[in-house]
Amino acid sequence: MAEDFSNKLVIAISSRALFDLDESHRVFQQDGLKAYSEYQIAHEEEPLQPGEAFPLVQKLLRLNTLLGDNVQVEVVLLSRNSADTGLRVFNSIQHYDLPISRAAFCGGESPWRYINAFGCQLFLSNEAEDVRYALNCGVAAATLVSNKGGNSSSDQLRFAFDGDAVVFSDEAERVYKTEGLEAFTASEQAAARTPLSGGPFKPFLAALHRLQQAFPATEAPIRTALVTARSAPAHERVIRTLRAWNIRIDESIFLGGLNKTEFLRAYQADVFFDDQETHCQLAGPHIATGHVPHGVANR
């Protein structure tokens, strides 16, 4: 009987995002696949160090203890490793007592084709090509480009999202890119009561909202923030769009082009998603950051 994923939050993650596989990857790049396989087998009893997404995964899985007996959050491992070389990855999962039981080890092939079969709503990877394929499959996906995992001392899981081309479509951003700020502002004012179309992260944000609904607003273990370069008067369309979608977002920060990094640090984001590589590069040294290669800025 097929499992019903409709009420679950399912996150897919690559082995290189979950664990620090830099040394292993260097062996692969310098000496090839055979040497890499031998290296992993020789070290398979040595736990891997946590990777940049490890704190996020820990917090995600911890939500199940708050949600009761009905497990509602699942993490699936999608890896280019073979099952043989992937044994070290599973040994490391067991070492850290992570309740991850489902995985696809694809023997050098891209694992993106299993994303929909597992019912995943988000895919995090270090492989930009895999992320683009996932986005083309209609799944929220990001390339982890930071060198730092989440460091919030709070048990609350804090997501931060850019707006255009991430939560929303890139329709407004296309106006800005082609016609400039003045035309963008005029266009957004004229369309203030017309909801924006959804971007690749709309379904994921909706799934987070459903989990939040299980708790009083002041006690929810998940918090969300929109951190956007927009400012008034281009704010109204965003607010009305979220209202039309019936999605609650806890904080909305309209920066008018200011650097987002200090605001993300003040918010204590566990992870931040943005389509602009420049914003990701600035935030990456401080916060786990995912580049969303979608929309006009990535063409």
Q: Are 233 and 185 in contact (CB under 8 A)?
A: yes
Task: Please state the pTM of the whole predicted model.
Answer: 0.91
- What is the reported pLDDT for 204? 96
* DSSP structure string for 31-91: H-HHHHHHHHHHTTTSPPPB-TTHHHHHHHHHHHHHH-SS--EEEEEEESS-TTTTHHHHH
List, for residues 191-239, the tens digit of each pLDDT value: 999 999 999 999 999 999 998 888 887 888 999 999 999 999 999 999 9
Average confidence score pLDDT of the chain: 89
Q: Are 270 and 158 in contact (CB under 8 A)?
A: yes
By annotation, the residues acting in catalysis are: 162
Q: Which domains does the chain have, with CATH numbers?
A: 9-143 (3.40.50.1000), 157-298 (3.40.50.1000)
Give the SS3 label for residue 211.
Answer: helix
- How many helices (H) and strands (E) the chain has is answered by 12, 10
- What is the reported pLDDT for 201? 98
**Which span out of 9-13, 22-26, 212-216 was modeled with the highest average pLDDT?**
9-13
